[in-house]
Structure 1
């Protein structure tokens, strides 16, 4: 079968998905603004890099705990109002972050700011099923998650460049202003009355008891932790190893982001043909390959080449995992996606904390080996998940 021709004949996705994509772009840029400006945060606020990295760990922990808890709290909310308010909150709190005079005052404000990613990303994904027909569900979910890839292409390198040139406060303020613009588009594009059905206590129990779903969630914890052991500290790592300037670092982030975007676009177009389990395995394998070859990145050019497989799999793995969960149990998607988002942030918190501990003990050179261990375990568990029986509640 000519899959290219089949894809070309698919009906276009509704315009509201573009607004959700932009929302994820802003959310992703805000989440990654700390890794992008870690050197500037450390020097400006007079704290060690490992201490500044606690902003990543603490924020990820809040997002981890907040995603499932807030999913229950906001279950009956109209999604137009919920998503708009979450972006408004994000904008206001990032502008407040930019005004904080010390690490001690910045820390709690940043923690409050990242409540928004715990709401926006999983709730945007959960309502996609009400915006498109079932045949477009996998494509639509991966399309919305392209926003995170675009954040890595444009948002993260822009934040790193602005942080290095104008200071970290300017980078945080930019995220705040972009949040307001995204809020306006979501309010305009999102129809009223989109309320995914709330999960009952019985449905939550069914989700938590599903071996297939919980194995998939564990996979997300492991590959997220494996990546963030090193990804959280790209800026100080490359400063120490290759003495990169802010411009070179932003270009390297942009390079990573371009291939992250390519990987996600490719995944969006091919996931229905590959199958979600196989798509997840291909993405994670790319990450593992880069971490295995990491010691070869002894120059800017070689470092850029080594990170290409990782970039291709980084964001596509998240998109494929979300689609995998929705496909396993569409009626449980609100709960499983919230748990998976929580797992992603739990892995980020675990990885950032582990990487910070290694750096504090003078072991920056082993960050990639620690990450590789987590990613290989994720591949093993993903294979086991593909053998598990699916949950009972299929659409």
Structure 2
């Protein structure tokens, strides 16, 4: 139901902006799109957790996350083409029609998907789910990880454009091509999650991914002496970061199996809070100490995220019939 509500919010907002392309309507459309995404993402992750066996959870989440990379590699250029050919309001119509079509398809197809017997614990009411959330150490550790890891990435994300423009005289128009590098990194990361994380185990994949991401943050200011090296270092940062985030989403679907929707919604909320703090402070850190300070702070926050996760997972095991496959 929450997936349908999220898509309906997106579709309604986009179609309203297409029909009545005024500032207030567009602002409302963007607010509805954000609300819709906040409803849809936790719901689809919880749905996967309830219906896909643990041994294939990473594969399922990784395949779903291909849409994220596709939005960068395909969606952004398509929106640019639509604006150039049909005007700035045309993407709103296209997105609205796509969202409306998705509502119909989900309503028709989702009830036909059987529930996996490996992953169907008794659900609890929403209020009880929040009480469980604050009492379960694995859930609290996951939320601490989500906040710190998202904050670390935004310390870099909000300044990398200005850094490339200042240090390498990269024209502002050329910065759009950097999104292709990031999109390719995300696509590869989601492929790795889909086909590797279940084999090594989701908990081990996330732990290793956080450690590699912290190392990539530290490596970035050391090797970024030329533009190709800088882009390669950014590629490494985003591939390790995205692999870790997507693998963690698969792991988190089982940290609070009685209230998966509550858990995934809380993960999204803490991650958004971390990104907000990182976006607010990232520019100041870069102005104070340059890329070296940004890399060190991001690495330190990533290590803090790892410590929070390991604290939460201490003694945690999935049910024996759902253990990681070798």
Q: Give the TM-score normalised by the residue count of structure 1.
A: 0.66
1:289 Cα deviation from its structure 2 partner: 2.4
Pairing partner for 1:128 from 48, 57, 72: 48
1:369 Cα deviation from its structure 2 partner: 2.8
1:180 Cα deviation from its structure 2 partner: 3.0
1:326 Cα deviation from its structure 2 partner: 1.7
Matched, 1:349 2:276: yes
Structure 1 consecutive aligned stretches of length 4 or more whose deviation exceeds 6 Å = 105-109
- In structure 1, stretches of 5+ residues that fail to align are 1-77
- Contact 2:49-2:253 within 8 A present in 1 as well: no
- Contact 2:141-2:312 within 8 A present in 1 as well: yes
- Contact 1:211-1:391 within 8 A present in 2 as well: no
Matched, 1:208 2:134: yes
User: Over residues 342-374 of structure 1, what are the superposed CA-to-partner deviations in whole Å (9 max), with x where a residue is unaligned?
Assistant: 111111111101114446x66554333322221
Whole-Å Cα distance in 1 between the matches of residues 161 and 41 of structure 2? 26
Pairing partner for 1:220 from 146, 160, 164: 146
1:253 Cα deviation from its structure 2 partner: 1.6
Quickly say closer, same or farther: Cα 1:238–1:208, change in 2 above 3 A: same
Report the more deviating stretch, 213-222 or 174-183: 174-183
Whole-Å Cα distance in 1 between the matches of residues 19 and 238 of structure 2? 32
What is the match of residue 87 of structure 1?
10
Whole-Å Cα distance in 1 between the matches of residues 170 and 162 of structure 2? 9
Q: Give the TM-score normalised by the residue count of structure 2.
A: 0.79
- Contact 1:216-1:385 within 8 A present in 2 as well: yes
Matched, 1:378 2:300: no
1:268 Cα deviation from its structure 2 partner: 1.2
What is the match of residue 147 of structure 1?
67
Pairing partner for 1:314 from 234, 241, 246: 241
What is the match of residue 22 of structure 1?
none
What is the match of residue 199 of structure 1?
125
Paired residue secondary structure (1:114)? helix
- Contact 1:84-1:184 within 8 A present in 2 as well: no
* Residue pairs, 1:44-123, within 5 angstroms: 78-79=1-2, 81-92=4-15, 99-100=22-23, 110-111=30-31, 113-123=33-43
**RMSD value over aligned CA atoms?**
3.6
1:173 Cα deviation from its structure 2 partner: 5.9
Quickly say closer, same or farther: Cα 1:290–1:108, change in 2 above 3 A: farther
1:129 Cα deviation from its structure 2 partner: 4.0
Report the more deviating stretch, 336-345 or 378-387: 378-387
- In structure 2, stretches of 5+ residues that fail to align are none
What is the match of residue 91 of structure 2?
174
- Contact 1:220-1:347 within 8 A present in 2 as well: yes
What is the match of residue 283 of structure 1?
209
User: Over residues 300-353 of structure 1, what are the superposed CA-to-partner deviations in whole Å (9 max), with x where a residue is unaligned?
Assistant: 211111123212222222221121122333222111111111111111111101
